Structure 1
Amino acid sequence: MTENETDTADPSHDPFLGREKEKYESPVPSREYITQQLEAQARPLSRKDLAALFSLSDEDALEGLRRRLKAMERDGQLVRNRRNGYVVVDNEELVRGRIRSSPDGSGVVHPDRPGPNVYLAPREMHRLLNRDRVVVRLTGDDEDGRPTGELVEIIEHANQEIAGRYHEESGIGFVIPNNKRLHQDLIIPAADVNGARHGELVTAEVVNQPSQRRQPIGRIIEVFGTRIAPGDEVAVAARTHGIPVEWPEEVLEEAARFGDEVPESVKQGRKDLRKTPLITIDGADARDFDDAVYCEPTASGWKLIVAIADVAAYVTPGSALDNEAAERGNSCYFPRNVVPMLPENLSNGLCSLNPGVDRLCMVCEMQIDREGKLKRSQFYEGLMKSAARLTYEDVDAIHNERDPSLLREHEHLLKHIEDLYAVFDALRIDRQKRGAIDFNTNESVIEFDNAGQVADVHPAERTNAHRLIEECMVKANVATARFLRRHRIPALYRVHEPPAEQRLKNLREFLAQTGLTLGGGDEPTTKDFAALMEAVKQRPDQHFIESIMLRSMMAAEYRPDNAGHFGLALDAYAHFTSPIRRYPDLIVHRAIKHVISKQPIEAFEYTEDQLVTVGEHCSMTDRRAEEASRDALMTLKCRFMANRLGEEFNGVISGVTSFGLFVELDGLYVDGLIHITNLEQDFFHFDAIGHRLVGERTGKEYRLTDRIRVRLAQVNVDDGKIDFDPIAHPLGPDGEVLPQSESRGPTSRNGDKDKGKRKGQSRSRNGESRSRRRRR
């Protein structure tokens, strides 16, 4: 075959031809088959070449091919070269992924498929903003061994609105984004200022995305004023991180058509569980009830039923509801507010497993043995009526405190609650045998007064009632992953990779400073991490050692390729239990329904490449929601602390940087900065590996996990920043001031005094680097 000749490919050999015939009257080759044939040809092919390859000649087929190729370009599966030849992305040279930019103007591409991040120099970032989706070409490695790339194609601009402060200088208006990862200011023409004044918080619509020679241009669409007013912290945080808040009209209209009650017609053909006393157990402020549980003992262990809201019965692929849910990816929870994935009449109403009303559900019924292992499971569509809506506090008071009023109120459920605790004890034993990691993440609870002001901040309490539900959900998710693998249907798994080599190295170097070690050599298992956590349980710095361990972990992701879940010590894991608030769970439900309805696997709605894209998007929205929630929480904490200026607090050094120390206050989980200018008059070496600042003259050391007393010096509510002055350091566990020798100098790893800067150190005095002033 010569260079310009093309073989023919038989369309009947397309493994997904059946799916295409169901969807289209004039089916064209599937995306998978097009990709497969392009790879087989091993060279770029034009649309004309591809039409010849697939023997397509009639007008409808050629138009279908044109639309399919255009869609594959739009989704980043294919790119066209200068001769209009199509090339498959995600090969040895081209990488598709999402940008994560840095304040210095550089960025990294997180690939959609497993692989190393690709570094982009600032010159490659001129046309890009944080979270944009791109195709890049690999160009080699930089001096640090990182893969580098150059921009080939922008698949999607992710930032349509930007929140920030409006400024005017020399007659030019611009918005400085609140999100520090947006490294370019937004230019605002005079005609589009819309009444905003210098220094005000605004939201601006991006009219023109950045180009190689020009910053992005926008127009102001919302003005918050100079300060974040009480109640606006959620709106500001959501807009800062690009979380959709408003509902499109067609979405609300579609949701309203379902009404408030389950029609009799859709109840048919489902297993009737309305007489089974399934109960929901959630937080006191929960409004959307995804899951209900029931347990009864058997001869060999327990039958455990986990019933999940059947969202897929209402939200169908391609509908306005589905498109909006996919875009949002998940619900975002804030103190006293939630930005839901679905409209409230579904999320809090028809889909929610509210007590005493008929609800459609998807059921995972499991047989658990006495060691807590999953022996068998089955999935089916059910119809249920929740027997009770209980809170974690209720269940804890019934089981542990034997609260008389609750015992009387729920007398008919007491046996079932005891059975749930019995299976929980077995599930917990299985968890411990696997060596699953159980980080004690410290979360804050915000209490509000009647006027809506922050009245108190205190740690959230995590009881065995929380753990009971967690373990039941984990087991249902394990059963789900087994089901998906057994039937070989494409779906999304929740993947948690083992820690990367460099992260392990950094963790071990930190642990060496604390006299601790992590076992397992180059490939530690979850049991090695669990053993380390057991070793630090009685230490006063347990929380911070665990936080460093947590930072060494990779982020969990949604992917169609199952690579197991390291943290839970599982070889397969999928999210099934929260389809009201997580879009990946909805896709998993659709996969299960496809199998139990006995349809051919090849006819499933989603292709593997579509799932790659959806999984990456949902992983991003998951991180986005977490960042937005953290921002709103910090604004509320700052508002609470603003009334306590001058007060003294004990805390722990939670972060060490070249410009100062971050301190977390005891019991409040509020973080603030001691700037290096407020430390002793000395030159300070920043030891990045040892997480410490060391005074050159005095030998004074400030180390991660040291206890310290501070005075609240300044609070900036709008920027979410708190500044402390140091009062006493170091402190003992009871707050007593401990002596620290000032005679020792900073020592090297072999115990000799350093005569120059060690690698990983910087030198500062009064907050000024010898080369330049550092900013927060």
Structure 2
Amino acid sequence: MAQKKSAETVTGRFVAHPDGYGFVIAEDPPLEQDVFVPPNKVGSAVDGDTVRVRLVPSRRPRKRKGQSSLEGEIFAIVSRGRETIVGKLFRYQQGIYVAPLDERYRYTVRLIDEQAKKIEDGMIVVVSIVIHPGPNQRPQGKVREVLGDPDDPEIQYKIVCHTYEIPLEFPKEVLQEAELVEEPDEKGIQKRKDFRKLLTVTIDGETSRDFDDAISIEKLKNGHFRLWVHIADVSHYVRPDTPLDREALLRGTSVYFPDRAVPMLPEKLSNQVCSLNPKVDRLTMSAVMEVDGQGQVTNAEFFRSVICSDERMTYSAVNKILIDQDQALRGRYKPLLESFGWMLELSRILRAMRVRRGAIDFDLPEAEVEYDDKGEIADIVRSERNEAHRIIEELMLLANETVAQHLAGREIPSIYRVHEDPDPAKVEAFLELATEFGYSLKQNQDGRYSSRAFQKLMVQMRGKPEQKFLSYLMLRSFKQAQYTEVNQGHFGLASACYTHFTSPIRRYPDLIVHRLLKMAIDRKTSGRTAEGLYGRLPEIAGRSSERERKAVVAEREIMRWIMARFMADRLGDEYDAFIIGVKRNGFFVELLDHFVEGFVPVETIWDDFYVLNQRHHCLIGETTKKVYRIGDRLRVRVDKVNPHRHLIDFSPVISAKRSRRNAKRSRRKRKR
């Protein structure tokens, strides 16, 4: 795409940085690069605003390939992105103000309502913006809700949920509708395919309460597998344009925090009537697939069905049965052993098929919080993906892909889960760093990079100190997966056609796909009802993508807060750590004993003056020539913790034998 001339203007969404500058993600016209806006050109725009920006010649030196060379000046605000903010109330002189907790909103807000006078200083409040900031104009607002005291253990959840528009309560009419939902009876079951006599299990986490999916499997005489993937028939209970349906669309997804969940549907549905609990009849949508020894689906059928799950299994138990050969568990679940063996065999066939296709498996550990009997944080550890996780992952991927192909093959409009090819310029920026560690990527003849090339790179990095850092940068060079009504394939999965079908209890797009699949089963893909749904697919896809992004950020924020809370009681403690990222002002570390990340400011490395080597991505001491680079291990001390800002600062434990004179000499040298 041609770069825009300096006199042109673009419209887009402004993404602010706490330091004052920001970027405009161009939408009209779309650009390959974001537009950098320096602090003195931001005007009165705040994070999330839709703005018009005038492109100007860039004065910034390009430090690396792929960095935006476009610079602009915001000259008009098309629409405001925020109508509310969350902040701390304080009094100054004769006024009452709120200091936003989100540092990207750079204005304090003056309160102009009478209610504010009754609220104590320091309280966390939600403010509705009445007058937005402008030239020589401070924003003004009114208190919408008092969230509480900043020291309340529950306050952080309220802050995060309000910030990312995650409703904590269901409206009265939604709960009333949910209470009217009844357990399935024989009359409602009669017209369904009856799979209750099939051996069926669910496999989920130890603390899971909403069970979307269940599995049945058998091996055929021809060596193929017959696989039943049964998914909760949420669309039977959540009918279009009802209070339940509108609330589910508003939420878009369930949000999962370490010690609680904010569900998309009321508990009566999510944990009871829809959940595939054991030993009870449940209404399902079943994908029945015959799969050959190469992982290809040779035949697929889809049914409204009814099941009765035989067992509620956990990932750890299934892994102990299959991999650890735990004799006690094998004896307890003897009737299921053959099915588990077939699941393992099929999942490995499917994984091999996806590897041949070029699918990328990042397999990065996530933080898992362990709690004691009193509900206090006992530890933060690295979550482990075992073979049972991989079994369910492969079987769900297959079901999602098979449903997508079924709808696309019949030219039925649908919602797809797409992941576009990465931008070559961003890949080159990633490669500039990766090559410093000896890695490379081969381009296709058209100049693009295949998923298979990234797959090979992931294999090369596996187990290396730089794996986490480079994997994170690789992910940032990719485009975000999203929902859309247009099938564009899924780059990361190396899939030409993919959707989400397997989690309708917790994802709204899956619920829509169920409705579309039922239209296909009933051969009612035309007419007023069908056309009405087709026309709403772009809106539903866009809304679902937005809600997913906010849920991910909210979950990440809560995890950072939990990490800070955990370390707040450990000030002065020392830990072994390794470096996972380097910046000009310090480096990021990850502890070995706990899965906690934090920052080491460069000023705490007192034995020398350290300068960033941009090319080699490390800090180098001017006098000692000591180097801090990705993957290095070191001892660190917990220096500062700010749970409210989710910050953890460490300092390196430096031997007293190192002289401070090196640092003093180096600083005098720089001043000259």
TM superposition score normalised by structure 2? 0.87
CA positional deviation for 1:618: 1.7
Q: Deviations over 1:726-755 (max 9, x none)?
A: 1259xxxxxxx9x9xx99xxxxxxxxxxxx
Aligned residues: 639
1:227-266 equivalences in 2 (<5 Å) = 227=151, 229-259=152-182, 261-266=183-188
Q: Are residue 672 (structure 1) and residue 598 (structure 2) matched?
A: yes
1:663 deviates by: 1.2
Shift of 1:189: 2.5
Question: Is the CA contact (8 Å cut-off) linking 2:401 and 2:499 kept in structure 1?
Answer: yes
Distance 1:538 1:681, change over 3 A: closer
Match of 1:721 in 2: 647
Aligned mates of 1:242, 1:436 — CA distance in 2: 34
Q: Deviations over 1:646-687 (max 9, x none)?
A: 121111222222322121111422111111221246554334
State the partner residue of 1:576. Answer: 501
Contact 1:489–1:601 (CA under 8 A) maintained in structure 2? no
Which of 267, 275, 295 in structure 1 is aligned with 2:217? 295
Look up the match of 1:629.
555
Contact 2:110 2:138 (C-alpha < 8 Å) held by counterparts:
no
Structure 1 residues 480-629: aligned runs within 5 Å? 480-520=403-443, 522-601=447-526, 603=528, 604-606=530-532, 610-629=536-555
CA contact (8 A) 1:559 1:612 kept: yes
Unaligned runs of 5+ in 1: 1-92, 730-736, 744-764, 771-776
SS at match of 2:496: coil
Q: String of CA shifts for 1:500-523, please: whole Å, max 9, x gaps.
A: 122211211111211222223642
Using the TM superposition, name which of 137-146 and 289-298 deviates more: 137-146
The letter for the 2-side match of 1:536 is M
> How many angstroms apart in 1 are the aligned matches of 2:57 and 2:290?
53
Q: Is the 8 A contact 1:111 1:117 kept in 2?
A: no
Structure 1 CA distance for aligned equivalents of residues 556 and 359 of structure 2: 26
Which of 267, 283, 290 is the equivalent residue of 1:367?
Answer: 290
1:263 Cα deviation from its structure 2 partner: 3.8
Structure 1 CA distance for aligned equivalents of residues 192 and 502 of structure 2: 19
Contact 2:109 2:138 in 1 (8 A): no
User: Does the 8 Å CA contact 1:661/1:674 hold for their aligned counterparts?
Assistant: yes
Deviates more, 1:144-153 or 1:386-395: 144-153
- For residues 342 and 94 of structure 1, what CA distance do their matches in structure 2 show? 43
| Change in 2 beyond 3 A, CA 1:279/1:323 | same
Contact 1:234–1:337 under 8 Å retained in 2 = no
> Which residue of the partner structure matches residue 707 of structure 1?
633
Q: Does 1:320 align with 2:243?
A: yes
Question: Paired residue for 1:215?
Answer: 139
User: Are the aligned partners of 1:442 and 1:669 in contact in 2 as well (CA < 8 Å)?
Assistant: no
The structure-2 alpha-carbon separation of the partners of 1:175 and 1:529, relative to structure 1 and needing over 3 Å to count, comes to same
Q: Distance in 2 between matches of 1:404 and 1:556?
A: 42
Indicate conservation of the 8 Å contact 2:97/2:110, yes or no. Answer: yes
Greater mean deviation of Cα atoms: 438-447 or 538-547: 538-547
Match of 1:186 among 85, 109, 113: 109
In the alignment, which of 164, 167, 190 is matched to residue 268 of structure 1?
A: 190
Matched residues in 1 for 2:192 and 2:12: separation? 41
Structure 2 counterpart of 1:427, which letter?
L
Cα shift at 1:390: 0.6
For residue 686 of structure 1, what is the aligned residue in structure 2?
Answer: 612
The share of aligned pairs that are identical, in percent, is 36
Deviations 1:317-348 (Å, cap 9, x if unpaired)?
A: 21111111111110100011000011111111
Aligned twin of 1:464: 387
CA displacement at 1:206 relative to structure 2: 4.2
1:15-30 aligned within 5 A: none
Inter-CA distance 175–704: structure 2 relative to 1 (3 Å threshold) = farther
Distance (whole Å) between structure 2 residues aligned to residue 176 and residue 605 of structure 1:
48
Gaps of 5+ in 2: 1-7, 59-67
SS of the residue 1:644 aligns to: coil
CA distance in 2, matches of 1:494, 1:303: 25
Contact 2:12 2:24 in 1 (8 A): no
From 264, 276, 280, give the equivalent of 2:202. Answer: 280
Shift of 1:159: 4.1
Give the 3-state SS of the residue equivalent to 2:644 in structure 1.
Answer: coil
- Higher radius of gyration, 1 or 2: 1
Query: Would you say the 8 A contact 1:437–1:568 is kept in 2?
Result: yes
Question: In 1, Cα distance between the equivalents of 2:45 and 2:54?
Answer: 18
Aligned residue type for 1:234: Y
Counterpart residue identity of residue 278, structure 1: T
TM-score (norm. length: structure 1): 0.76
- Which residue does 1:11 correspond to in 2? none
Residues 100/561 of structure 1: CA separation in 2 closer, same or farther (3 Å cut): farther
Would the alpha carbon gap of residues 152 and 217 (structure 1) be closer, same or farther in structure 2, given more than 3 Å must change? Answer: closer
In 2: Cα distance, 1:129 partner to 1:362 partner: 45
Change (3 A) 1:125 1:592: farther
Matched position secondary structure for 1:524? coil
Q: 1:588/1:214 Cα in 2 relative to 1: closer, same or farther (>3 Å)?
A: farther
Q: CA deviation at 1:194?
A: 5.8
Query: Map of 1:342-491 to 2, 5 A cutoff?
Result: 342-491=265-414
* Alpha-carbon distance change, 682 to 314 in structure 1, aligned in 2, over 3 angstroms: same
CA contact (8 A) 1:100 1:110 kept: no
Q: Distance in 2 between matches of 1:455 and 1:333?
A: 19
Counterpart residue number, 1:53: none
Q: Which residue of 1 aligns with 2:24?
A: 108
> Would the alpha carbon gap of residues 607 and 360 (structure 1) be closer, same or farther in structure 2, given more than 3 Å must change?
closer
Distance change >3 Å, CA 575–CA 539, structure 1 → 2? same
Q: Does 2:150 align with 1:226?
A: yes
Q: 1:386-426: per-residue Cα shift (whole Å, max 9, x none)? A: 11111101111222233333333322222211111121121
**Separation (CA, whole Å) in 2 of partners of 1:691 and 1:169:** 45
Q: Which amino acid aligns with 1:448?
A: Y
- Structure 1 residues 137 and 108, CA gap change in structure 2 (3 angstroms): closer
Shift of 1:561: 1.6
Which deviations, in whole Å up to 9, do the C-alpha atoms of 1:226-285 show, x marking residues without a partner?
32x3344323322232211121111111111113x1244432321111111221100000
Amino acid at match of 1:686: L
